[in-house]
Amino acid sequence: MAAAQRIVIENCSIATVDANDTEYATGHVVIADNRIESLGAGKAPEGLGNVVRRIDATGHLVTPGLVNTHHHFYQWITRGLATDHNLFNWLVALYPTWARIDEQMVRSAAQGSLAMMARGGVTAAMDHHYVYPQGSGDLSGAIIGAARDMGVRFTLARGSMDRSEKDGGLPPDFAVETLEGALAGTEETVKQHHDASFDAMTQVAVAPCSPFSVSTELMRDGAALARRLGVRLHTHGSETVEEEQFCKELFGMGPTDYFESTGWLGEDVWMAHCVHMNDSDIAAFARTKTGVAHCPSSNARLAAGIARVPDMLAAGVPVGLGVDGTASNESGELHTELRNALLINRLGAHREAALNARQALRLGTYGGAQVLGRAAEIGSLEPGKLADLVLWKLDTLAHASIADPVTALVFGAAAPVTASFVNGRQIVEDGRLLTADEDAIARSTREEAQRLARIAAQA
């Protein structure tokens, strides 16, 4: 067996985000192949063998890589539209366009979404893709291929919709699947692409879109399918007051009770948004260890409200951060969500005590790993975990006068990423991708956005 190749990172501040929030003012990290071998204060130990690279990280903070827990990559090519709409009106405005996507568009949009996140410190991403128009090609394969080529650890939440306009839903009839087709397509995606191993780069979750776009049968059967296949479950939940009213009118109960009635609460489940949660809802999530993807910028963009994140955390609910689709968060970045989560939650009932800088960093790292079911592998810097980590440059004009590096990262301007490692492989250097041509991606996404707009206008 070949000796492990080591990368040594030294002279950096370190926020491990482990169970004790261990931090080092000046320390080192040793990567051996795709694992974190050791870390601690001061210089790396003498006598390490097979060191292929040493990085002097003076002026940097090293953290776990950021983990994105909710996104819709295809929306990269419909950014900047319906900018003054609430959720339901926004969906009505954009579904006719989204219903015209094809494999080429989806691949380009996935590249754009992944590139923006990766260059900003995301090492583990996910995509909730639920629009599968008839004859549109292998959309799941296009998304997974884009993530593989980018070198980002990835979860595809294979979504589905079977409630169209004729059934009282929002999407056009030709943009949804049948119940049988959705379940079969999801099972095939899991069997073809899901990797359950410790160092998996690609995983798949079962993810019917939302209570108002899928049938109760798809919710129930989807949950049963996920558990039969041993994968996680994801959907949207409690995003708006309109959704709550919809559930009460259609099902005679609120979203959380409906989810429980269909098998959709549990430690293998995470929900996006969860803005409108009462005390009993939060207690149900805490009791079942159901996770939450908190999307502060998207919630604000669509005027959905302020999620009760401090109350969820106090109750023991696993909470991570999400970019959400870039048609409702045009920046497409997760590192800015650290700051936005903190600031927006301070507008809520807990005011200045809502979140602090270290809680925000935990949401974006370990919290996200919990929500994706990968807290044993990623989300904190600990020996034996996978080498997904980021070097943030904090000695420039933007941050140099802030003494505490974690405060600088969260409260300050978006920090430059000097290096980002996924599975021990560097994918970003000095803010630029090493695994893809950003300029080519920009051209492709512009062309595909224009092509989609033309097709939608002619429909």
pLDDT digits (tens, 9 = 90+) for 379-393: 999 999 999 999 999
Model confidence band, residue 364 (pLDDT cutoffs 50, 70, 90): very high
For residue 69, is pLDDT > 90? Answer: yes
Which residues share a beta bridge with 432? 429
- Both structure tokens of 17: 């985000």
pLDDT for 60: 98
- Span 40-55, mean pLDDT? 95
Contact 421, 388 (CB under 8 A): yes
For residue 319, give the H/E element and its range. strand 319-321
CA quadruple 295, 113, 365, 232: dihedral sign: positive
> For 159-173, 184-198, 272-286, 313-327, which range has the lowest pLDDT when averaged over its residues?
159-173
Q: Is 169 helix (H, G, I), strand (E, B) or coil?
A: coil
Query: CA-CA distance, 103 to 229, in Å (whole number)?
Result: 26
Distances (CA, A) of 88 to 12, 237, 284, 305: 46, 14, 26, 14
| Radius of gyration for the alpha carbons in the chain, expressed in angstroms and rounded | 21
pLDDT for 252: 94
Give all domains of the chain, ordered by start, each with its CATH number: 6-64+380-433 (2.30.40.10), 66-371 (3.20.20.140)
- Span 56-60, mean pLDDT? 98
pLDDT for 88: 86
Q: Among residues 325, 333, 318, which one has the least CA distance to residue 373? A: 318
Q: Among residues 51, 117, 48, which one has the least CA distance to residue 329? A: 117
Judging by DSSP bridges, how do beta strands 417-422 and 389-393 pair with one another? antiparallel
pLDDT for 397: 98
Quickly list H helices, 230-334.
241-251, 255-261, 279-288, 296-301, 309-315
pLDDT for 66: 99
Q: Among residues 421, 397, 434, which one has the least CA distance to residue 55? A: 421
- Span 6-21, mean pLDDT? 98
Query: pLDDT tens-digit profile of 96-153?
Result: 999 999 999 999 999 999 999 999 999 999 999 999 998 999 999 999 999 999 999 9
Query: CA-CA distance, 386 to 376, in Å (whole number)?
Result: 9
- Both structure tokens of 175: 């943009």
pLDDT for 171: 76
Average pLDDT, the chain: 96
Query: CA-CA distance, 284 to 370, in Å (whole number)?
Result: 18
For residue 459, is pLDDT > 90? Answer: no
**Percentage above 70 pLDDT, the chain:** 100
On the 0-12 / 13-18 / 19+ scale of CB atoms within 10 A, 148 is middle
pTM equals 0.97
Query: pLDDT tens-digit profile of 167-180?
Result: 877 777 877 899 99
**Percentage above 90 pLDDT, the chain:** 91
Residue found under tokens 């994918």 = 427
Contact 337, 321 (CB under 8 A): yes
Query: pLDDT tens-digit profile of 394-419?
Result: 999 999 999 999 999 999 999 999 99
Contact 415, 407 (CB under 8 A): no
> What is the end-to-end Cα distance of the chain in Å, rounded?
59
pLDDT for 212: 84
Contact 74, 105 (CB under 8 A): yes
Q: Is 132 helix (H, G, I), strand (E, B) or coil?
A: coil
pLDDT for 105: 98
Query: pLDDT tens-digit profile of 213-265?
Result: 899 999 999 999 999 999 999 999 999 888 888 889 989 999 999 999 999 99
- Both structure tokens of 360: 């925000």
**Which has more confidence, 243 or 301?**
301
Q: Residues with Cβ < 8 Å from 144, sequence gap 6 or more?
A: 154, 156, 193, 202
CA quadruple 203, 32, 114, 234: dihedral sign: positive
On the 0-12 / 13-18 / 19+ scale of CB atoms within 10 A, 232 is buried
pLDDT for 166: 83
pLDDT for 395: 98
Contact 251, 216 (CB under 8 A): yes
- Both structure tokens of 287: 């009791």
Model confidence band, residue 338 (pLDDT cutoffs 50, 70, 90): very high
